[in-house]
């Protein structure tokens, strides 16, 4: 009932000039709130949520593009340099959204459950970590015993080249994994990919002998970044300096740059994904997902199509790996645990398997929950615990509340709950994928929910 | 379709409404100070991470008085880095964006500390690390980054020298494939080779339960000493299984072994044969009176024995509080700047902690790290604190 | 009495025993000949010389003398994997569904058993127990672990899997992954709130830690004690009993017949008057009971457990089940033994054969690589039948 009421309300405002007004209002409100209370999580949520106004309300496409560009290229960087935590959250949302989009191709489009997806992320990250650091000269040293004054193998600007290389290398890895295992049924595949993910992590952890490729558990650092032109920093400061309130440092500008790079990658990925989804390959994936036997009978080259899905998904993860290595300047095997694979899977499932906006929404929600909301609650509880406050009614002092109950400690529990509840109540996800029913030739394709 | 979209959307509208409703003006107290902690509070490493935070919490409770008397309200802001670099860095950025936070005690994993401290460094936030032994933590030469534990390249050497002193001619070196355990083991092996001990094998393992396969080459070589770089939870299980299969030599481990749970797991097997030793920077109760009191207080407050690095968490916090106090005094009772706090941490001289007396050198290592080698004396976990010191070493870490 | 004996299908009891012996011997012989051949081939190379330098024996002698102990160790861990794998295979056989949460059901069993023993230890009962009594207490702990795990398995099925029956294959699998993560943190939450402790330790009592020594083997200047600990024997015997019991239940009882009918064709089974939901619940109950017992046995063998203890053994047991041919009880046994043996052989010999370049840290990879290899050449597993794709 409430939903219907809300929908009516939504419809009432979703025509004419209302959408534009709401979008502008929402964005301005968000910006204003973040500006006036620079550390409030809720204000930040208000700002981030304006992307969803932008997505849901019907407005002129040109207006939407202009608003989106302004929001993403001006408001977020300015706000983000004022409070670098916001930029980090947005950056991680972008990285995970790209990963979720990649996994979405494998799981959502082709219906292959991949539980070791971060392996490809690791491949990309270690690719640049090896060539973009001093590691080449460390090959003959045991981890930790190398001298500290070694030269770098490649200049930092080779980073851009390696973003392309990572696409190829990760895609090859995807094919390499895919070839032997794609004959397997879905659930076998899940376990084998899980094993593969572990294999890559264990390799990263152990390839420090006989030749020290990965520096083992100690990880590789420092990893180079592309150069940052001085004039860019100056001009950014000239234009936005007064809005930000302080001079942006080079470190700040690197944050902005990696955010832009991640954003650009997402746009490319969305573009590619949408084109492919509408192509012959996309339809073949749908067929494979729905019924393999029927797909084979229709003459779809099963293995080729599955390999294509694996390679595509892998290459997206590979690029993001390079980006991660450069932005962190440090890489260790801990970043590529099974937990991360499950995290990305949770994002895809939560948002809606096979749905592009769903994957992004899923990534945003899980990342925000993980970095901001759960941590925020824990901090709040910890503040209460250090105060003399008492829970009214039951007269229970916050002080006595066990720290075992801190929400930030239960990330796994949360992921688990999300997966179970989504499967039971909403297997299509928050934004279910649009499924087209194709009619016979001549009839128009009908879009429905 | 629309129905769903509207539901999702309504969530966000609700969220933004709440913002306006709450206003959330953090009307901060002008004399409010926060000290952040970062350690893994969830996942399988939380067993150590939680106690590190508790150590800091206890220190704040017991040592916060001088600052309170000056009119400051000092609060703890505990963060969970999930042993994950991404979360650690995001938290770090959140921490530096809160001007009330003047220092951070943190990180258990070097893999999280190294990228996170890049953020502390750019914001001038003082970081005292209670557990990161990777040389890279300080060799970057950052003004803000300090640690109170010894470096891998020192503790491994201490272990090897001690093994030689025991008369060991052959050793088998094991580690747990973490940055910490492997770091120490690599230096142990390097030193053992240098001083002429025969290293029969050097293996890492992530295995936590079944060491049978690993034990075959060890028993075949029957080394005089088995060294394990890593935590007690693995080492004790391994030692127990080795003893059960008839190994009669000596066990040696590092400060990750310093937990009464070790004897809960391995019991009598630690005493039999050549006995068990461990090197540690954290002094036993007989040397530092504070340790016994700390263990008692900790147990009274949290109803469990402190895990490794809880005492270091306590000391890191104590150092931070003292530095803030000094900086505040220099600022005539006003809230000190972050730079002043970082400076004050470096300038502390001979700070008496419960795990040692600390002065930092120009890169943030303790100038002299005091190492003890202890012998396990009793199979009874309750008597863990009665383990006797067999050797004390004062070693200055490398200056770079 | 006679009639009772007649009603027991002796063949179903003896058959699994025979299989166990054959599998154990078979895998031991195959793997031993592989490592011995390798050792002979490498004896005169740098590998052999390096070993000669360190251990003062030839590579071939080293390999040969270590072999009996490696086989015993491999068998022990193999039976642990087999015991856990039974739970996976049971559920898969009936529902064609990977119960990903089985590893946590196993962990819950371990925790309940260990907590009971710790409580008994605190009450002083354990220390004063006679030898016979300590076996009774161990049995009690195992049964408690079984009951708890069985109840949990049935609950999980009712709450998280039953509503999803009929959905596509991946849906319940994802839900199971969710349950697995949820349970890990729930165990931690409960343990955190009640004991404040993370590691729980199996109290030492009885004679379980003792070791039966078969003899000494000379190796260079040292000697190796060949032997097996009492707890390993308990683990092997218990796993054998579990397999025989399960085999009997499935192949020689009325319930077993119903289970097989449901596995073969659910709609037809229900037309034959079988209550499908009840049978599925029973399947989960049996799987849970086995998992719980395996959990307590695991804690007995390896002493220390934590809330995440189930993950790796669970994964490997699953690999074992797939290796043997999932859905096939004998296959689970075979897979467990083969995987345990392989892992132990790899862990014991790889370091020596590669001159320390790759040691036992790769043993987990070994398990997965073998799994992948087997699936490439025999996707149905070693003993599975090729059933093709079921809608």
Residues 235-274 of C with CB under 8 A from A: none
Q: Which helix or strand (DSSP H or E) is residue C108 part of?
A: helix C102-122
Do A164 and A291 lie in a common domain? Answer: yes
A408/C contact by beta carbon, under 8 A: no
- Residue A408 sits in a domain of what CATH number? 1.10.3470
Report the pLDDT averaged over residues C86-112: 91
Q: How far is CA A95 from the centre of its chain?
A: 4
Q: What is the pLDDT of residues C295-335, one digit of tens each?
A: 999 999 998 898 889 988 998 898 888 888 888 888 888 99
Residues A90 and A141 occupy one common structural domain: yes
**Residue, of B89 and C358, whose pLDDT is higher:** B89
Please name the member of B93, B98, B400 whose beta carbon is closest to the beta carbon of A148.
Answer: B400
Domain boundary among A35, A53, A82: A82
> Measured between CB atoms, does A149 come within 8 Å of chain C?
no
CB contact under 8 A, B237 and C66: no
- For the residues C358-380, what does the mean pLDDT come to? 79
CB contact under 8 A, C302 and B244: no
CATH number of domain containing C21: 1.10.3470
Cα–Cα distance measured from residue B373 to residue B393, given in angstroms and rounded to the nearest whole number? 8
Q: In this predicted model, what pLDDT tens digit does every residue of B256-279 receive, in sequence order?
A: 888 888 888 898 899 998 999 998
Whether A235 and A350 share a structural domain: yes
Domain edge (last residue) among A59, A82, A105: A82
Does residue A115 contact residue A193 with C-beta atoms inside 8 Å?
A: yes
pLDDT at B22 over 70: no
Residue among C90, A372, A193, C210 at smallest CA distance from B87: A372
Question: Least CB-CB distance to C372: which of A113, A192, A411?
Answer: A192
How far apart are the CA of C388 and the nearest CA of chain A, in angstroms? 9
Q: Is there a single domain that holds both residue A100 and residue A203?
A: yes
Statement: residue B28 has pLDDT above 50: no
Q: Are residues A26 and A167 in the same domain?
A: no
pLDDT in tens, B90-112: 899 989 988 899 999 989 888 88
Of B3, B86, B97, the CB nearest to A85: B97
Distances (CA, A) of A334 to A164, A337, B86, B177: 25, 6, 10, 11
Ranges under pLDDT 70 in chain A: 1-5, 403, 435-449
What residues 225-254 of chain A have any CB closer than 8 A to a CB of chain C?
A: none
Q: A143 with B182: CB under 8 angstroms?
A: yes
pLDDT (0 to 100) of residue A179: 84
Q: Among candidates A251, A225, A207, which has minimal Cα distance to A163?
A: A225
Residues of B within 8 A of C304 (CB-CB) are 208-209, 233, 236-237, 265
CB contact under 8 A, C177 and A419: yes
* Total length of chain A: 449
The interface pTM score, or ipTM, of the predicted complex is 0.88
CB contact under 8 A, A56 and B90: no
Domain match, A302 and A237 both: yes
Q: Name the nearest CA neighbour of B85 among B120, B114, B119, B124.
A: B114
Percent of chain B past pLDDT 70, that is, above it, reads 90
A416 to chain C: nearest residue by CA? C178
DSSP per position, A360-429: HHHHHHHHIIIIIIHHHHHHHHHHHHHS--EETTTTEEGGGS-GGG-GGGGHHHHHHHHHHHHHHH-TT-
Q: Based on the structure, what is the number of domains in chain A?
A: 2
- The answer to whether B205 contacts chain C (CB < 8 Å) is yes
How far A366 CA lies from chain C's nearest CA (Å)? 15
CB contact under 8 A, B303 and C196: yes
Chain C residues within an 8 Å CB radius of B200: 54-55
CB proximity B177 to C under 8 Å:
yes
C184 touches chain A (CB under 8 A): yes
**What pLDDT band is residue B27 in, cutting at 50, 70 and 90?**
very low
Mutate to test the interface with A, among C182, C315, C369 (most CBs of A within 10 A): C182
A380 and A423 part of one domain:
yes
Residues A77 and A216 in one domain: no
Of A426-440, B368-382, C125-139, the least confident: A426-440
What token pair was written down for A282?
A: 């996309």
Q: Is A423 on the interface with C (CB under 8 A)?
A: yes
Same domain, A141 and A34: no
- Looking at residue B284, its pLDDT comes to 65
Structural domain span for residue C221? 2-377
CA distance B39 to chain A (A): 11
Residue C128 CB burial class (10 angstroms; 0-12, 13-18, ≥19): exposed
Give backbone dihedrals phi and psi of A312, rounded to 5 degrees, phi first: -60, -55
pLDDT in the model for residue A4: 60
Last residue of a domain, one of A32, A49, A82: A82
Q: Do A38 and A106 lie in a common domain?
A: no
B142 vs A contacts (CB less than 8 Å) = none
**Contacts of C among chains (3+ CB pairs under 8 A):** A, B
Count B/C contacts: CB-CB distance under 8 Å: 122
Residue A54 lies in domain: 1-82
Q: Tokens representing C7? A: 């009603």
Number of domains in chain C: 1
**What subunits make at least 3 CB pairs under 8 angstroms with A?**
B, C
Predicted local distance difference test score (pLDDT) of residue B30: 67
Say whether both A113 and A29 belong to one domain: no
Q: Is position C79 within any domain?
A: yes
Residues A216 and A91 in one domain: yes
Question: Does C380 score more than 90 pLDDT?
Answer: no
Whether residue C385 is contained in a domain is answered as no
The domains of chain B, with CATH numbers, are 32-150+288-367 (3.40.50.2300), 152-280+371-395 (3.40.50.2300)
Cβ within 8 Å, pair B216-C201: no
Say yes or no to pLDDT of B24 above 70: no
Given CA atoms A194, A197, A199, A205 in this order, what sign does their dihedral have? negative
Q: For residue B246, how far is the Cα from the chain centroid?
A: 33
Q: Looking at the predicted structure, is the pLDDT value of residue B21 above 50? A: no
Is C145 or A413 the better-scoring residue by pLDDT? C145
């Amino acid at each position: 009932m409430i939903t219907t009421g809300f929908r009516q309300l939504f419809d009432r405002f979703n025509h004419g000039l209302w959408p534009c007004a709401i979008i502008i209002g929402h964005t301005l409100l968000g910006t204003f709130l973040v500006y006036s209370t620079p550390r409030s999580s809720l204000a930040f949520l208000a700002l981030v949520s304006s992307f969803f106004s932008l997505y849901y309300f019907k407005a002129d496409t040109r207006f939407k593009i202009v608003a989106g560009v302004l929001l993403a290229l001006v408001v977020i960087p300015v706000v983000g340099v004022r409070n670098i935590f916001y930029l980090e959250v947005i950056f991680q949302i972008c990285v995970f959204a790209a990963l979720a989009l990649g996994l979405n191709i494998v799981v959502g489009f082709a219906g292959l459950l991949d539980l070791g997806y971060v392996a490809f992320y690791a491949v990309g990250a270690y690719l640049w970590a090896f060539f973009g650091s001093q590691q080449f000269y460390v090959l003959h040293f045991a981890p930790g015993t190398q001298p500290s004054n070694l030269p770098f193998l490649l200049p930092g600007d080779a980073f851009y080249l390696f973003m392309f290389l990572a696409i190829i290398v990760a895609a090859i890895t995807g094919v390499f994994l895919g070839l032997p295992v794609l004959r397997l049924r879905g659930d076998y595949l899940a376990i084998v990919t899980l094993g593969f993910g572990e294999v890559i992590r264990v390799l990263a952890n152990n390839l420090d002998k006989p030749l020290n490729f990965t520096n083992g558990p100690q990880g590789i650092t420092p990893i180079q970044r592309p150069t940052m032109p001085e004039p860019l920093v100056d001009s950014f400061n000239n234009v936005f300096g007064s809005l930000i309130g302080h001079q942006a440092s080079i470190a700040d500008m690197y944050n902005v740059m990696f955010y832009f790079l991640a954003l650009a990658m997402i746009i490319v990925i969305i573009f590619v994904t949408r084109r492919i989804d509408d192509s012959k390959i996309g339809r073949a994936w749908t067929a494979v997902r729905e019924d393999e036997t029927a797909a084979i009978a229709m003459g779809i080259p099963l293995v080729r199509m599955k390999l294509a899905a694996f390679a595509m998904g892998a290459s997206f993860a590979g690029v993001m790996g390079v980006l991660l290595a450069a932005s962190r300047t440090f890489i260790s095997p801990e970043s590529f645990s099974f937990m991360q694979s499950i995290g990305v899977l949770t994002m895809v499932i939560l948002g809606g398997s096979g749905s592009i906006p769903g994957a992004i929404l899923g990534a945003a929600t899980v990342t925000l929950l993980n970095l901001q909301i759960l941590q925020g609650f824990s901090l709040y509880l910890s503040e209460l615990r250090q105060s003399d406050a008492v829970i009214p009614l039951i007269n229970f002092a916050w002080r006595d509340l066990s720290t075992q109950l801190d929400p930030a400690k239960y990330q796994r529990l949360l992921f688990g709950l999300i997966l179970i509840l989504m499967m039971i109540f909403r297997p299509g996800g928050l934004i279910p994928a649009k499924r087209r029913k194709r009619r016979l030739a001549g009839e128009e394709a009908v879009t429905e929910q | 379709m629309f129905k769903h979209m509207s539901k999702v959307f309504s969530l966000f509208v609700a969220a933004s409404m709440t913002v306006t409703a709450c206003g959330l003006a953090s009307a901060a107290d002008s004399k409010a100070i926060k000290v952040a902690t970062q350690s893994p509070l969830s996942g399988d490493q939380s067993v150590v991470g939680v106690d590190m935070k508790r150590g800091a919490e206890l220190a704040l409770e017991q040592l916060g008085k001088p600052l309170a008397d000056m009119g400051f309200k000092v609060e703890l802001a505990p963060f969970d880095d999930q042993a994950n670099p991404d979360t650690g860095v995001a938290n770090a950025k959140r921490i530096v964006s809160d001007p009330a936070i003047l220092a951070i005690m943190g990180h258990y994993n070097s893999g999280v500390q190294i990228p996170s401290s890049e953020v502390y460094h750019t914001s001038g936030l003082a970081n005292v690390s209670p557990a990161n032994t990777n040389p890279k933590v300080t060799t970057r030469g950052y003004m803000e980054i300090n640690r109170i534990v010894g470096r891998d390249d020192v503790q491994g050497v201490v272990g090897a020298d001690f093994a030689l002193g025991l008369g060991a001619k052959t050793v088998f070196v094991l580690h747990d494939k973490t940055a910490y355990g492997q770091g120490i083991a690599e230096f142990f092996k390097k030193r053992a080779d240098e001083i002429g001990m025969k290293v029969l094998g050097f293996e890492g393992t992530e295995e936590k339960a079944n060491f049978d396969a690993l034990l075959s080459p060890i028993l075949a070589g029957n080394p005089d000493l088995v060294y394990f770089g890593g935590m007690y939870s693995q080492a004790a299980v391994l030692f127990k299984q080795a003893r059960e299969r008839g190994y009669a030599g000596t066990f040696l481990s590092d400060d990750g072994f310093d937990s009464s749970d070790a004897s809960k797991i391995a019991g009598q097997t630690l005493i039999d044969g050549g006995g068990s030793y461990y090197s540690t920077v954290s002094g036993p109760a007989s040397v530092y009176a504070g340790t016994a009191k700390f263990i008692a207080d900790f147990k009274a407050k949290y109803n469990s024995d402190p895990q490794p690095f809880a005492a270091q968490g306590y000391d890191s916090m104590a150092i931070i509080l003292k530095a803030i106090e000094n900086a505040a005094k220099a600022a005539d009772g006003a809230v000190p700047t972050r730079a002043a706090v970082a400076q004050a941490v470096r300038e502390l001289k001979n700070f008496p902690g419960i795990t040692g007396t600390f002065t930092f050198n120009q890169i943030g290592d303790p100038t002299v790290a005091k190492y003890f080698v202890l012998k396990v004396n009793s199979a009874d976990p309750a008597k863990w604190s009665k383990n006797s010191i067999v050797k004390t070493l004062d070693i200055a870490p490398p200056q770079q | 009495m006679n009639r009772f004996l007649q009603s027991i299908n002796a063949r179903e009891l003896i058959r699994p025993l025979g299989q166990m012996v054959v599998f154990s011997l078979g895998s031991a012989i195959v793997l031993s000949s592989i490592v011995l051949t390798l050792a002979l081939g490498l004896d005169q190379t740098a590998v052999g010389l390096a070993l000669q330098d360190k251990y003062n024996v030839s590579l071939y002698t080293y390999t040969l003398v270590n072999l009996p102990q490696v086989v015993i160790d491999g068998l022990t861990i193999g039976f642990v994997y087999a015991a856990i794998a039974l739970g996976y295979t049971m559920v898969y056989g009936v529902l064609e569904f990977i119960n990903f949460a089985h590893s946590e059901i196993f962990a819950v069993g371990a925790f309940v058993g260990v907590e009971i023993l710790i409580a008994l230890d605190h009450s002083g009962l354990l220390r004063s127990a006679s030898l016979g009594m300590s076996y009774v207490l161990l049995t009690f702990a195992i049964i408690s672990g079984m009951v708890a795990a069985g109840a949990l398995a049935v609950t999980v099925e009712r709450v998280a899997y039953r509503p999803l029956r009929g959905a596509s294959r991946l849906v319940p699998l994802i839900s199971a992954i969710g349950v697995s993560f949820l349970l890990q943190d729930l165990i931690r939450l409960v343990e955190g709130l009640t004991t404040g402790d993370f590691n729980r330790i199996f109290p030492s009592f009885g004679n379980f830690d003792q070791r039966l020594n078969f003899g000494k083997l000379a190796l260079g200047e040292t000697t190796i004690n060949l032997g097996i600990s009492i707890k390993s024997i308990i683990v092997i015997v218990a796993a054998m009993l579990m397999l025989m019991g399960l085999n009997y239940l499935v192949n020689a009882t009325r319930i077993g017949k119903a289970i097989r009918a449901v596995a073969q064709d659910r709609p037809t089974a229900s037309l034959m008057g079988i209550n499908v939901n009840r049978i599925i619940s029973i399947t989960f109950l049996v799987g849970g009971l086995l998992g719980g017992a395996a959990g307590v046995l695991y804690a007995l063998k390896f002493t220390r457990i934590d809330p995440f203890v189930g993950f790796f053994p669970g994964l490997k047991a699953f690999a074992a089940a797939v290796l043997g041919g999932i859905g096939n009880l004998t296959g689970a046994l075979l897979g467990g033994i083969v995987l345990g043996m392989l892992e132990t052989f790899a862990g014991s010999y790889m370091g020596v054969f590669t001159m320390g370049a790759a040691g036992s840290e790769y043993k987990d990879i070994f398990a997965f690589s073998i799994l992948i290899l087997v699936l490439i050449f025999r996707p149905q597993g070693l003993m599975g039948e090729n059933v093709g794709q079921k809608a």
